[in-house]
Amino acid sequence: MTHPLVRAVREALEEASDPAKAPQMQAYMKSVMPYYGVSGPVQKALWKQIFSAHVLPSSAEWRRVALELWRQARFREERYAAIALTDLRAYAPYRRMSAIPMFEEIIVTGAWWDVVDAVATHQLGDVLRADGRPMSQLMRRWARDRDIWKRRAALLCQIRFKQKTDLDLLYDCIEPNLDRPEFFIRKAIGWALRQYAWVNPREVRRYVKAHKARLSPLSVREALKNS
């Protein structure tokens, strides 16, 4: 049986759909899955209304409903709803190691930057704050995974940490990716370093100089934008 929250999301998206915008959004995101054509601001307004009307009483139900949205999505905005639901402030206590299998599924099956970056920089970061040691160990493993999106997620999980960035973890995630050829890995390395440069530009310049022989030009350019 479809959960009421899932039904409410689908009905609201269908009502707000814009057939003129949908193909443009799909083309921009290079998405196989079609769009309803609902803009980001409209989505946020819908999520606020729907999620407050359908409070999920447990971590287990939260995960179940989010995965129902994700797995049964016919349009990409339904998947955005799943990401928004898992990032909701009210469910922050649920973002623990027990939620990692759900986030891993979303990252691996989503396999594109809009999905991966959202989950990595918010949900994974929250788990890292809550469960530092086991999550750090997991991110070190993901940084060496065969799946490049899990590698990217590991690189980006501390993007919002600023002065609380665990440099050992950041560098341990970068090191196995220094020689990777993928654009999304090279971009992520540069982005992660650039964000840390906001609080410690000298250290980022030092790191780039020490590893310039292995860092891609893209990573170097991105890393030094704030330095």
The residue written with tokens 């409903």 in the block is 65
Residues making up the chain, counted from first to last: 227
pTM for the complete prediction?
A: 0.96
Q: Are 164 and 131 in contact (CB under 8 A)?
A: no
CATH 1.25.10.90 residue ranges in the chain?
1-94, 111-227
Return the CATH class of domain 1-94: mainly alpha
pLDDT at 62: 98
Query: Residue type for 131, please?
Result: D
Architecture of domain 111-227 in CATH?
Answer: Alpha Horseshoe (1.25)
CA distances (Å), origin 168, targets 111, 121, 158, 172: 27, 18, 12, 6
Alpha helices in 91-182 (DSSP H): 100-110, 113-118, 125-130, 132-142, 148-156, 167-174
- The token pair that represents 137 in the structure block: 């160990």
Q: Report the distance separating Cα 194 and Cα 73, nearest Å.
A: 35
Q: Are 189 and 223 in contact (CB under 8 A)?
A: yes
pLDDT 10s digits, 15-66:
999 999 999 999 999 999 999 999 999 999 999 999 999 999 999 999 999 9
Query: Residue type for 102, please?
Result: M
pLDDT 10s digits, 127-165:
999 999 999 999 999 999 999 999 999 999 999 999 999
